[in-house]
Structure 1
């Protein structure tokens, strides 16, 4: 992807000391474009924000120019490196609708995936073995259903969610709190490469930006806004995942939480979310059903598979237990199990937690 002609102006505006995202948006609202904002007269700037704003805009920091040169070099060094400005046609619509969209988004991988149907999966860095298994399984099933999985590449639940989506042959997006050329934690370098190969690494921070603690709560708003819903798998009472859940609510998105033991500290955050109105989920089917209710859906048409395969017809469109299928088909248990395995291997049936089976939903 070519570097946008106005990239330099967007970069310089955003990097203006003391301006920040809010100030930059105010400038854009007043002057119409980053070029016009940077070229505004001292009088116009003083009228907008006083003498301090005029003085700020008059400064040109050498560090800004060095970072701009580095960003352009990174973008030019690879076909799958992109930058999306707030005015770009490819800028993700869901993110554009939020109160605090990034002015620039750097992408390593498939930029088109930022507009794909997706669900965020987040949770504790210090996850339990069961929590990690749950994150992988939810991600795998959601990916099989055609949804992209969004997370933050952090240790624990985030990494497990990315792995689950990749294991299903699906797509996943990692929204990071560093520059797009940095990987944190370092042990996720191989995982980051796999994500970039089939999905995307996304950051609002320019290349070279190091690990800074204040960036991670900021990136959480992007995770929440890119997704139609956010699933919290495990979270302690003060977990950053609860910030993501709050931001999802503020963005008008669904919030889901996996319950756990009342004795586990890593379940207390999820239980708090459930008390506050988050949907308690036990399987990916719960999430898919909730998301179907948030948008108009066409009546399901009977496919060739349904017309020709009696087991798919018996399964219908909701999860079913083995006992229920035995009753519906009247087949011997061994024959039914063999047929279910065949459909599972063909990718037409998904095995859900709790001994349930469900027809896979086309993406």
Structure 2
């Protein structure tokens, strides 16, 4: 962990250099030693070399203290739990700091973005779409800005659904400050995500970088309202360049906040009038993401031992391994917390978290208010 923190705080070294070094040498520790020897994908300047030779121990220690807190995580490029969809994105971050549940980054997500100065009509549309998409099983991802972003997060939370906020600051800071309460709710019921180390303040250049992560985590991006100079158009452009679907809600020709959406539609975004259109378009992709998650769980250390002689750890209903059957029996028909399920099944909390995520993707389990799980009866 110290190696990753040292690398991420190295000045003038960008994500591409770090990703290449870690991929070439197999780990952050090996990459750090290679960079110190001068074995680098590109020539390092004097400032970077000084830091690599003598990093500030106080900064690294502060990062470690943040990571020692409950539900704080670092997912590096060499971590198999680094989100699958984001790994495909050119220019993906070398690592992510997460305050909350990191498994949510593998969930099928729809990004909802738009104007910071949205109209009341736009905010109402945002809430309606967010609730419908959440009810269909999508995690709502946005940037926790004023306007559409905040409304999307809040609508998901009020629907007892998950939401992910990607930040332009360190994961320990809240910007804008008015969203402190919202950030706390997101961390407790979803995840705050940042590529910037703790303590990193908001800077204008951070937000376009944040936008590529918002679109990169999601199967598709919905733009609700946007002026022609809106930052949400950057997110839409990133989504398009990443090969992801872009959806835009049209508006009145007299509304300046509709012009950005109209421009997106002219450029090839899907004109969208209902959440059902997005759900239909992304359902197959969501199922494919579920397959990736199952493969990840089956390849995890210890997965082979957990299978025993009963076949794959995750299979179609009626052919599950004993651990999944035990979990389904423990769920019953009443709401249960993760700790209660761990006590009933004897399974580790870390294993249960991944198993419950798979069961949600398969439509067998729902997560409700207060982090309580309920079994969904099959027809």
Short-chain TM bin: 0.7 to 0.9
CA distances 1:316-349 after superposition (whole Å, capped 9, x unpaired): xxxxxxxxxxxxxxxxxxxxxxxxxxxxxxxxxx
- 1:130 and 2:121 are equivalent in the alignment: yes
Match of 1:201 in 2: 192
Q: How does 1:15-94 map to 2 (within 5 A)?
A: 15-40=9-34, 44-45=38-39, 49-50=42-43, 52=44, 56-57=48-49, 59-60=51-52, 64-78=56-70, 80-94=71-85
C-alpha separation in 1, matches of 2:47 and 2:145: 40
Cα offset for 1:75? Answer: 1.3
Over the aligned positions, Cα root-mean-square deviation in angstroms equals 2.2
CA contact under 8 A between 1:195 and 1:201: conserved in structure 2?
Answer: yes
CA contact under 8 A between 1:120 and 1:230: conserved in structure 2?
Answer: yes
Q: Work out which of the residue numbers 132, 136, 142 in structure 2 matches 1:145.
A: 136
Cα offset for 1:293? Answer: 5.5
CA contact under 8 A between 2:19 and 2:77: conserved in structure 1?
Answer: no
Runs of 4+ aligned structure 1 residues displaced above 6 Å come to: none
Cα offset for 1:43? Answer: 6.5
Match of 2:150 in 1: 159
Match of 2:89 in 1: 98
* SS of corresponding position for 1:282: coil
Q: Given the superposition, is the C-alpha separation of residues 296 and 87 from structure 1 closer, same or farther in structure 2, using an over 3 Å criterion?
A: closer
Q: Which moved more, 1:229-238 or 1:58-67?
A: 58-67
- 1:220 and 2:211 are equivalent in the alignment: yes
Task: Flag structure 1 segments of 5+ consecutive residues without an equivalent.
Answer: 1-6, 298-361
Match of 2:252 in 1: 261
Q: How does 1:203-352 map to 2 (within 5 A)?
A: 203-292=194-283, 294=285
Q: Given the superposition, is the C-alpha separation of residues 42 and 166 from structure 1 closer, same or farther in structure 2, using an over 3 Å criterion?
A: closer
Q: Work out which of the residue numbers 104, 108, 112 in structure 2 matches 1:113.
A: 104
- 1:12 and 2:3 are equivalent in the alignment: no
Q: Which moved more, 1:165-174 or 1:15-24?
A: 15-24
* SS of corresponding position for 1:212: coil
Task: Please identify the structure whose Cα radius of gyration is greater.
Answer: 1
Q: Given the superposition, is the C-alpha separation of residues 43 and 134 from structure 1 closer, same or farther in structure 2, using an over 3 Å criterion?
A: closer
C-alpha separation in 2, matches of 1:198 and 1:30: 36
* SS of corresponding position for 1:149: strand
Cα offset for 1:272? Answer: 0.3
Q: Given the superposition, is the C-alpha separation of residues 134 and 64 from structure 1 closer, same or farther in structure 2, using an over 3 Å criterion?
A: farther
Task: Flag structure 2 segments of 5+ consecutive residues without an equivalent.
Answer: 289-377
C-alpha separation in 1, matches of 2:193 and 2:171: 6
Q: Scaled by the length of structure 1, what TM-score is found?
A: 0.74
Q: Given the superposition, is the C-alpha separation of residues 41 and 272 from structure 1 closer, same or farther in structure 2, using an over 3 Å criterion?
A: closer
Q: How many residues align?
A: 289
CA distances 1:191-243 after superposition (whole Å, capped 9, x unpaired): 11111111111111111111111111101011001110000000110111011
Q: Given the superposition, is the C-alpha separation of residues 59 and 192 from structure 1 closer, same or farther in structure 2, using an over 3 Å criterion?
A: closer
CA contact under 8 A between 1:174 and 1:195: conserved in structure 2?
Answer: yes
Match of 1:186 in 2: 177
Cα offset for 1:38? Answer: 2.2
CA contact under 8 A between 1:45 and 1:54: conserved in structure 2?
Answer: no
Q: Scaled by the length of structure 2, what TM-score is found?
A: 0.71
